[in-house]
Structure 1
Amino acid sequence: MVEVRVPATSANIGPGFDCLGIAVKKYNRFVVEEIEEGLVFEGCDEEFKNEDNLIYVAMKKCFDKIKYKPKGLSIKIESDIPVSRGLGSSAACVVGGILAANELAGSPLSKEEVLELSAEMEGHPDNITPALYGGMTVSVTEEDRTIYNKINIKEDIKLCVLIPDFKLSTEKARAVLPRSIDYKQGVYNIGRVALMISALSNGDLDLLKVACKDKLHEDYRAGLIENFYDIKNECSKQNALAVFLSGAGPTIMVMLRKDDKDFSTNIKSYLDTLKNNWQVLEVDIDNDGAIVLSL
């Protein structure tokens, strides 16, 4: 029997489209056991108790690669990462499934091989890498290999997650993006990605408000999230270090100083005046990434 815990992740972090990601202390847990026969699920809706379940699909991909055939599987799910909210729920399922399958088979794959298999399945590594390794990461794909590095954040910060009560599929959020961008937009984002990494590494937190600005995806997706700009402006008024769309959205992520005591209360009071219901949750950065336990 194997237990896997995988953190939620937030990708893009403003200008770092499809390359930056950060893991936070909000988790999905999967307990997987090889049984005599069949496929048994616990802890998910009836519609997901089948071979199309993403955790099982990820496990099967791993089993096929390492040529392992389980007799049957029991998969218990404890999910604390909301689906289709921009918090890496699919990446958590992919990483969790592949890690669990690898552990059941005696761990023939290295962590780097798990990364490659997970990124191949997910299609891009921005959520996968922090889910697996924790912390804030930058990831790129080079000749079908995922190259990554963890970013050392010098000063203590925390994150505040603003989660609405409506979903936004990645497919829909991708569909509104342009097929090409202006040269100036690319330069705009390159500079701000560099500034963000420098500011976090050196502890120059006052630079984050400028560094997190984006020209590649947020403006296009803003129309899918009611009151998006109003919320961003209010967060800035409440002394947020940075405000950005989490992944494809609709969750909005806020960077705060560790000692900020008032932001969550104040922003909740503001959000309560809006049409949709928003959950406000302060979370710390998860620096450990996915954890595997043999039970």
Structure 2
Amino acid sequence: MAYSVEEKGRPYTTDYQVFFQNAEGKYISPFHDIPLYADEAQNIFHAVIEVPRWTNAKMEIATKEPLNPVKQDVKNDKVRYVANVFPHKGYIWNYGAIPQTWEDPNHKDADTGYYGDNDPIDICDIGEKVCSRGEVIRVKVLGTLALIDEGQTDWKVIVINTEDPQANEFNDIEDVRRLKPGYLEATHDWFKRYKVPDGKPENEFAFNGEFKNKDFATKIVRGTHQYWRALILNQAEAGELNCINTTVADSPFRISAAAAEDIVKAASPLGPAAPIPSSGKT
């Protein structure tokens, strides 16, 4: 299924929003309405790109807002950017999330010993294409790194776009180590140090920073899908999360296409982008 996006507000400001539409032109939530699987029989998953490779703006699915548009993260009323941590430039992969997954903050992970971070599960796409913000791609899961972010489990799933010319050669985490030497080490280094320029300590990891393989990562993804399923059926505590959707048939949070359109119409019209800071975050 093809997906498209509609931008609202001024890029790189607090009112910027990226809304999603399906092939029928219906507004949808990228968190709840895009299916987990692109091809379940082949273990191919959907992934929503929030941050294109080499960029710095910290964009993410706004889990607490109606229809969950992609927005720029805000701290102290200012939009956030990640610094260029030497020798890296911005995000070193296409960064995003797997829809219909949820790292339940009330569930203590048996492997890491920490609770979930209340977000969809994160992905790092290592394919050669630089994706666009809001692009929905089909991916193969290759492995995962377990970041412990401020005392919460924050899985980083390593994937490759199925349209990548080398996709058939990548089937597990060791293929990444063999065919893209240094990429896993760079990934570990990036997640360890990317908050240091903001005055925070280095991040920690479960499993001594070891990458887990495809089977382990796939198990984690499927588990977080089950937590999402409980969330969208109102069988788990949502807290501040917004579960409005337009396609999940058995969800009590489902709204009409007209109601979803009203949400988008209420957003500010697309305007010129604001300047991006130049202090190592361009």
Into which bin does the TM-score normalised by the smaller protein fall?
under 0.3
The structure with the largest helix share of the pair is 1
Q: Bigger relative contact order, structure 1 or 2, given CA contacts below 8 A and separation 6+?
A: 1
TM-score computed with the length of structure 2 as normaliser: 0.28
Mark the structure with the bigger radius of gyration: 1
TM-score by length of 1: 0.27
